Amino acid sequence: MADIRKNIVLRFGIVYLIICFAFVLVIYKITVIQTVERTKWMALAAKNIKTNIVVKPNRGNIYACDGRLMASSIPNYYVYMDTRVAALHEKNGKLFKENIDSVSIYLSSFFKDKTALKYKLALQKAYNDSVGEFKIFPDKITYLQLKQLKTIPLFRLGRNKSGLITKELFRRVKPFGSLATRTIGDIYADETKGGKNGVELKFNKFLLGTPGVSIRQKVANTYMETVQVEPIDGMDITTTIDIDLQDIAEKALVDGVREFDAAVGYAILMEVQSGEVKAIVNMQRNKDGSYTENRNGAVSDLSEPGSTFKVVSMMAALDDGKIKITDTINTYNGQYKFGNRTMTDHNAHHGGFHKITLAQAIYGSSNIGVSRAIVKAYGSNPSDYVAKLYAMKMNERMDLEIPGAAAPYIRHPKDKSTKNPWSPTTLPWMSVGYETQIPPIYTLAFYNSIANNGKLIRPFFVKSISKNGQIIKEFKTEVLNPAICKPTTLKDIRYMLLGVLEDDMGTAKNVRSKYVRIAGKSGTAQISQGKEGYKVGKTKHQVAFCGYFPYENPLYTCVVVMREPGIGYPSGGHMSGSVFKNIAERVMALRSNRNPLAYEKDTITHNPIKPFTKVGYYEALSTVMADLKLPLGTKKSVWVKTTSDDNKTEVHSVAVASNVVPDLTGMGAKDAVYLLERLGLSVQVQGRGKVISQSIKPSFFAKKGSLVLLNFE
């Protein structure tokens, strides 16, 4: 018994000594690591930890007034392959070698940029050279493409076995393409730099968000990233822009500047009572003859407004009680001398207007009639005239949400800073829109005050700033001047603006519409050539029309400006007025609440109307015909054309291949543009209706990036 006890104590002592020895060894090793080897291990740890990595926030979205997306950031990816990774998992690179053929075939069919053999040779070379980041495809791919890529052999095994590496970048996209693109603005390639222009720049601090911070550390031979500070995504901006109205305005303006070969065209559509800008278009002609939005000229261009300013002058004199619209003025034979300069009316070559009323001076846009009236009223003290314009707030800067917006310049007789001192010719020329500079949006705001019962309000482009659907800040109508003139003056002005279209002397009779009653004023101004002035033979013009509709209950104010038209005699009523009329009619048609069910049943029963159908997408045609309860032939292909008889609309196949230009004759703009852009082609449209011709003939090879011009009628 004593021997057993002795044996147990001995064994316990041995175990105890081993434990103590091991403990001493651990303490010793810890001491060595913390003292002698500290520097070495700290350096190794530092190699495997990367701190303060910036985590980018998502940039906020920009929306139209009805919530439709106008600008958003979407992720794109560059894809690489670390060919060393696959070699590490199997002896002699078995995993890589077994999958290289299938990977090459799939990449070739997926990207369609080179053959499977070329892909195989490139991957094999990268493998032999132990390339850490072999770029699989030179361009960025979408998230959906990346998901598909991860399903192919080898890559489906994950990053640690396949070596597939992705680098995420964000691209700012505008789902509605060119619509209001300059007003919405652009951003720099590096999103951290923010917006370059437009709303993107003005509201950059709200859209940008706040970056987060993460730490990357190597754990078990794998890098893991841990977010220390979460990023805060940017806020969303809701604009006042109405996509449908913007589309109408852009289409009408582009048709106009092309028809008259203008160098520049602007159009702004504003809601009368709220001041919300529903559409704004800034078109500049490029060297190749195309038109794009290159700058926000509708808010930044300072130019002499011409005859649209005559209404401002008449309002000032009427409100001061110095004239009445029934007063008569002699314009003689269309030429009259003020100081050492001769003023000319546009009809001087027909003998002029001679004696007319001041109302008729506005109808017929008589320079002499308006200037003589203003000189008679304010000639002895022109400061009173300018003071009245200032009191109307015609010179005050409005805080617009578009960076680079200019303010009007209306000179004062006592201003000594100008190079050209006030002279006997200044007041008469200033009264008809010269020697003063006003951006188009300020002209719009003035005419809007006429439509809005004398209330001058600030045009604005942004309705709200929101975060996660909750409104953070809301922008509302801002009144700049509650009464720009007396009610009696306003009544006279509105009467004259109607006469510009409806009186026999009116310069904008062509703007008169049978669908909506319009009031407004045309303007044609010579553009100064700097030191050369207004030289004969080198004269360039700006043509404009500004007004509101419907006349009885104004809903919208619109201004259309074109600069340097190259085709036709310069005329604000004929050129800009025609664009204005198109905008007004289409806007009111869009607002129409006429219901086909309101028509008498026997009209429909006894006089059936065969629907006109364009060439296009069968499913869309089928949906419409089903809603109208009209018979339609069976589907022959995805894209079809139709023929109709008394009983049925028959469908016929339209051939659409993946690499040749299709025959688009008879197709609507939406379908035609979709088919061409799907082939990687650039598209320009001219006219409206259905396609009547295309610049690249059907069955020609579709070379990516080529421009196709479509004519519609």
Q: What pLDDT, on a 0 to 100 scale, did the predictor assign at position 347?
A: 92
Helix (H, G, I), strand (E, B) or coil at 392: coil
Could you tell me if 385 and 361 are in contact, meaning their C-beta atoms sit under 8 angstroms apart? Answer: no
Could you tell me if 691 and 672 are in contact, meaning their C-beta atoms sit under 8 angstroms apart? Answer: yes
∠ Cα 664 665 670 (to 5°): 55
Q: What pLDDT, on a 0 to 100 scale, did the predictor assign at position 431?
A: 95
CA 315 to chain centre: 35
Provide block-wise average pLDDT over 10 residues at a time, the chain (713 residues). 70 79 79 74 59 76 92 84 67 75 86 86 83 81 82 80 78 85 86 84 90 67 62 91 95 95 96 97 93 93 93 96 95 93 92 95 96 95 95 93 93 81 92 93 97 97 93 94 96 97 94 95 82 59 96 96 93 94 94 54 48 77 78 79 75 79 84 81 74 80 76 74
Residue 526 β-bridge partners: 541
Q: What pLDDT, on a 0 to 100 scale, did the predictor assign at position 538?
A: 59
Q: What pLDDT, on a 0 to 100 scale, did the predictor assign at position 607?
A: 45
Q: What pLDDT, on a 0 to 100 scale, did the predictor assign at position 50?
A: 56
Residue 69 β-bridge partners: 63
> Over the stretch 238-257, which tens digit does the pLDDT of each residue have?
999 999 999 999 999 999 99
Q: What pLDDT, on a 0 to 100 scale, did the predictor assign at position 602?
A: 46
> CA-CA distances (angstroms) from residue 706 to 256, 684, 695, 701, 709?
25, 11, 11, 10, 10
Angle between helices 2-34 and 38-47 in degrees, nearest 10: 70
> At which residue do the structure tokens 């929306």 appear?
63
> Over the stretch 42-53, which tens digit does the pLDDT of each residue have?
665 555 555 566
Beta-carbon count within 10 A of 554 CB:
23
Could you tell me if 695 and 685 are in contact, meaning their C-beta atoms sit under 8 angstroms apart? Answer: no
Q: What pLDDT, on a 0 to 100 scale, did the predictor assign at position 219?
A: 54
Residue 507 β-bridge partners: none
Closest to 555 (Cα-Cα) out of 508, 512, 519: 519
> CA-CA distances (angstroms) from residue 17 to 9, 13, 24?
12, 6, 10
CA distance 398 to 442: 9
